[in-house]
Chain A
Amino acid sequence: MFRLAVRSKSSNNYLKSSLIRYSSSSSASKLTADKYNVKRGNYSTINDDDLKEFNSILSSNQIITDSNDLIGFNQDWMKKYIGQSKLVLKPKTTDQISKILSYCNKRKLAIVPQGGNTGLVGGSVPVFDEIIISLSNLNKIRSFDEMSGILKLDSGVILENADNFLSEKGNIFPLDLGAKGSCFVGGNVATNAGGLRLLKYGSLHGSVLGLEVVLPDGTILDSMHSLRKDNTGYDLKQLFIGSEGSLGIITGVSILCPARPKSVNIAFLGLNSYESVKKCFQTARSDLSEILSAFEFMDHDSQLLAAKNLNSIHPLCQEDKIGIDSVPNYPFYVLIETSGSTKEHDDEKLEKFLEKVMENETVIDGTVSQDEAQLKTLWTWRESIAEASQQFGGVYKYDVSLPLDSMYSLVEAVQKRLNDLNLSSTTDNSKPVYEAVGYGHIGDGNLHLNVAVREYSKDVEKALEPFVYEFVAKHHGSISAEHGLGFQKKNYISYSKSEVEIKMIKDLKDHYDPNHILNPYKYI
């Protein structure tokens, strides 16, 4: 049978860009510790006895000390944060992790847990010489109960693999995001990832039923017994969802998975203003209601970035053009996904909705996927913006929650500020900033502000921070909707959390990790 080949462009690009990085030399240090003036904590340094101990817990192929092999573990995928770790451990069992942590705690050796390393705030890479514990060998699916939809798995399972496994059983993972091919389920839970399906399936705080976590002293906390309803005592697992590796290392996850929708449609629309985007969302919420599973918006410049990177024809282009020439002139684009169980029902609903928004001119133009290949292509024009944002050298990413009314004004304010400071130009290569674009999950009030830059520079950073955070605080938003705090936002938590809240977080950290060995220099 003939099958259309699916291109895997992103992985290639990733490889290419990381190679370029290491062939270019630069005089200024790119190490996170130097760039941000961080002082090393009072931790021990690894000695031969330590290595001997780790060798007694793990086999030799689970220990990495070769400097070339360490490169990928020491840097994040944006190449923004670069650590100096000399040791990566790749345990295969929860028991091994428990032994490692217990030993490190006694020896006061700092640790950074690492999943797929797809984080955007520098949370999963070391700052100094922390030992990296990679969860990549902890990658088995433990069990799936078809009756209840409860999936139990190791934390190092790649999200896409988990979803493919569920797909064969007619179920779906309640989380989906652009990095699904690399990110780990455990990392998703540790960072409380939001992603593209949150609108329909809610946050991980709801769908995670239990966790297996190794605490800093090596104690194993096991709540994998998974009941949907359990009102006995504090709900301890919640502490670890979004704790970003600061309280314990998640080794197992029990999660409730819904039935996989049998009918999925995508509409990709062109709109004339942000007002229309809001109006379109309101109509979608009421008219598509229970089948609405994603409502994403993108500004014109973000589509130009994607077009430049993808070099293919924009879905709303009807002429023989390619790349940026093919992007029509609508200031905003919206991607709507519907998921349901009956195709005829969904089709009819979507058709009626589209007729309505076209007739009242909320939407100017659009298209609907006719087959699976088109469905994937349409998603690509939304999902590839993140990668496209760093095609010129780098990207400053802000992921904020804001009330819908003031959501896009942040992008406009940043664009104006960068222009006023004479930092930004799409044509002049001597300017550090290429441009600032906005896109995100309207349905969740979550904006992604990406500032595509030619190089990371203090000037740009000073222009953006704390400007962005002050704007968000003034409009009662959150400075991190789903990316987390990590290293990037450690100093800015007070823009979103009160003194009382911060004190309680610190108390918990001090209590469970008195030596602060887990993921230091980050979070709080």
Chain B
Amino acid sequence: MLTKIKILVPVKRVIDAALKPRINKTKTGIESKGVKYSINPFDDIAVEEACKMRKSHKDLIESIHAVSIGSLKAKEVLRTALAKGVDTSSLVDVGDEEVEPLVVSKILKSFVEREGSNLVVLGKQAIDDDSNQVGQMLAGLLGWSQATNAAKVTIGNDGTVEVEREIDGGVEIVKAPLPMVITTDLRLNEPKFVTLPKMMKAKKKPLEVVKPQDLNIELTKKLETISLEEPASRKAGVIVNNVDELISKLKELKAL
């Protein structure tokens, strides 16, 4: 008899991936006013993967719990996760406070312990700060196996999990028994649209709101942002009229 799997899926509300973020006037962060927010695309993939696991291993997956850390507006992304097939969810209300990866990892660790999770599936990074640290730190804090940048996940019959990772020049396959932390890469799956009936049902699913102090966690800051700068814009190209001109231009620039 295999152990049942309890999945934890952390999801973050971020500036929409299709929009171009702008630095705010004080150069301390990203302009957040009047900007559209959505679920971090990698976390969307993580939710989709957890729900897919449930589909293909009905009797193996006991529960899927989603957690988000952010302001009350992050309820939206949790509702989306619930509509996709997550069972229960929690929001850690930190207001508009920026939370550093280590603190995020500690909060998630407390949820792993509370929920008795033995598998954490999360995005390899959030597209707002691009830290790519939480999955690794969480595995370290828990002392669990970790498989980062997953492109394919297979749950074996012997209770081990096999993960394919796309690396430079090929695919690396790693395998480990549960418990485990998996971070998702772009090609793992293509998230589906949420249908209206599921969205309506999701309204009745549990969504609790807790404060960091309820989890005995302090929002300490170890990093200081000094300034944010946009990358220097590229110089405009020149249009040449013929090949001769192109060659002489290239010579001029010592490219030939």
Q: What is the interface of chain A, defined by CB distance below 8 A to chain B? A: 1-4, 6, 61, 262-263, 268-269, 313, 315-318, 343, 354-355, 358, 363, 365-368, 370-374, 376
20 new A-B pairs (CB below 8 Å) besides A2-B17, A370-B39, A371-B36? A1-B128, A1-B130, A2-B41, A4-B41, A313-B190, A318-B195, A355-B200, A358-B197, A363-B196, A365-B196, A367-B193, A371-B41, A372-B17, A372-B19, A372-B38, A373-B17, A373-B18, A373-B41, A374-B193, A376-B18
Complexed CA–CA distance, A315 and B241 (Å): 46
B173 contacts the other chain (Cβ, under 8 Å)?
Answer: no
Separation in Å of the B125 CB from the closest CB of chain A?
A: 7
Residue of B nearest to A355 (CB): B200
- What are 16 pairs between A and B in contact, CB < 8 Å? A1-B21, A1-B127, A2-B41, A3-B17, A61-B241, A313-B190, A318-B192, A358-B197, A365-B195, A365-B197, A367-B195, A370-B80, A371-B17, A371-B18, A372-B19, A374-B193
B176 contacts the other chain (Cβ, under 8 Å)?
Answer: no
Interface string of B29-63 (1 = CB under 8 A from A): 00000101011010000000000000000000000
Residues of chain B lying within 8 A (CB to CB) of residue A4: 17-18, 41
Complexed CA–CA distance, A354 and B194 (Å): 14
Complexed CA–CA distance, A363 and B17 (Å): 30
Residue of A nearest to B192 (CB): A318
Complexed CA–CA distance, A365 and B193 (Å): 12
B162 contacts the other chain (Cβ, under 8 Å)?
Answer: no
B103 contacts the other chain (Cβ, under 8 Å)?
Answer: no
For A317, A368, A370, A374, which residue has the most chain B Cβ atoms within 10 angstroms?
A: A370
The answer on a CB contact under 8 Å between A317 and B127 is no
**A367-B17 contact, Cβ under 8 Å, with A2-B127, A262-B34:** no
Interface string of B174-202 (1 = CB under 8 A from A): 00000000000000001011111101100
Residues of chain B lying within 8 A (CB to CB) of residue A365: 195-197
CB-CB contacts below 8 Å: B2-43 with A: 16-19, 21, 34, 36, 38-39, 41
Residues of chain B lying within 8 A (CB to CB) of residue A263: 36
Complexed CA–CA distance, A318 and B17 (Å): 23
Complexed CA–CA distance, A269 and B196 (Å): 9
Separation in Å of the A297 CB from the closest CB of chain B?
A: 17
The answer on a CB contact under 8 Å between A2 and B130 is yes
Separation in Å of the B129 CB from the closest CB of chain A?
A: 9
Residues of chain A lying within 8 A (CB to CB) of residue B199: 368
Interface string of B125-156 (1 = CB under 8 A from A): 10110100000000000000000000000000
The answer on a CB contact under 8 Å between A370 and B194 is yes
The answer on a CB contact under 8 Å between A316 and B17 is no
**A354-B196 contact, Cβ under 8 Å, with A4-B17, A372-B16, A376-B18:** yes
Residues of chain B lying within 8 A (CB to CB) of residue A315: 193
Separation in Å of the B245 CB from the closest CB of chain A?
A: 13
The answer on a CB contact under 8 Å between A316 and B193 is yes
Separation in Å of the A298 CB from the closest CB of chain B?
A: 16
Separation in Å of the A485 CB from the closest CB of chain B?
A: 38
Complexed CA–CA distance, A372 and B19 (Å): 8
Contact with A372, one of B18, B34, B241 (Cβ below 8 angstroms): B18
What number of residue pairs across chains A and B have CB atoms under 8 A from each other? 72
Residue of A nearest to B52 (CB): A320
The answer on a CB contact under 8 Å between B130 and A368 is no
Complexed CA–CA distance, A105 and B20 (Å): 50
Residues of chain B lying within 8 A (CB to CB) of residue A358: 196-197, 200
Residues of chain A lying within 8 A (CB to CB) of residue B34: 262
Complexed CA–CA distance, A268 and B200 (Å): 15
Complexed CA–CA distance, A415 and B39 (Å): 44
The answer on a CB contact under 8 Å between A371 and B130 is no
Separation in Å of the B86 CB from the closest CB of chain A?
A: 14
The answer on a CB contact under 8 Å between B192 and A317 is yes
Residues of chain B lying within 8 A (CB to CB) of residue A376: 18
Separation in Å of the B78 CB from the closest CB of chain A?
A: 12
Residue of B nearest to A312 (CB): B190
Complexed CA–CA distance, A205 and B200 (Å): 42
Residues of chain B lying within 8 A (CB to CB) of residue A6: 18
Complexed CA–CA distance, A4 and B39 (Å): 13
Give 4 nearest A-B pairs by CB, closest first.
A372-B18, A371-B38, A367-B193, A366-B196
Residues of chain B lying within 8 A (CB to CB) of residue A371: 16-18, 36, 38-39, 41
Residue of B nearest to A341 (CB): B34
Residues of chain B lying within 8 A (CB to CB) of residue A3: 17-18, 127
Residues of chain A lying within 8 A (CB to CB) of residue B125: 2
Residues of chain B lying within 8 A (CB to CB) of residue A370: 38-39, 80, 193-194
Separation in Å of the B77 CB from the closest CB of chain A?
A: 8
Complexed CA–CA distance, A421 and B193 (Å): 41
Complexed CA–CA distance, A343 and B17 (Å): 18
Separation in Å of the B239 CB from the closest CB of chain A?
A: 11
Residues of chain A lying within 8 A (CB to CB) of residue B195: 316, 318, 365-367
Residue of B nearest to A365 (CB): B195
Residues of chain A lying within 8 A (CB to CB) of residue B38: 370-372
Residues of chain B lying within 8 A (CB to CB) of residue A368: 194, 196, 199
Separation in Å of the B253 CB from the closest CB of chain A?
A: 24
Complexed CA–CA distance, A452 and B55 (Å): 39
Residues of chain A lying within 8 A (CB to CB) of residue B241: 61
**A367-B18 contact, Cβ under 8 Å, with A2-B125, A61-B241, A372-B38:** no
Complexed CA–CA distance, A280 and B141 (Å): 53
CB-CB contacts below 8 Å: B84-125 with A: 125
Separation in Å of the A353 CB from the closest CB of chain B?
A: 11
Residues of chain B lying within 8 A (CB to CB) of residue A343: 36
Complexed CA–CA distance, A370 and B38 (Å): 7
Residues of chain A lying within 8 A (CB to CB) of residue B80: 370
Separation in Å of the B123 CB from the closest CB of chain A?
A: 10
Residues of chain A lying within 8 A (CB to CB) of residue B200: 355, 358
Separation in Å of the A32 CB from the closest CB of chain B?
A: 34
Residues of chain B lying within 8 A (CB to CB) of residue A373: 16-18, 41
Complexed CA–CA distance, A318 and B36 (Å): 26
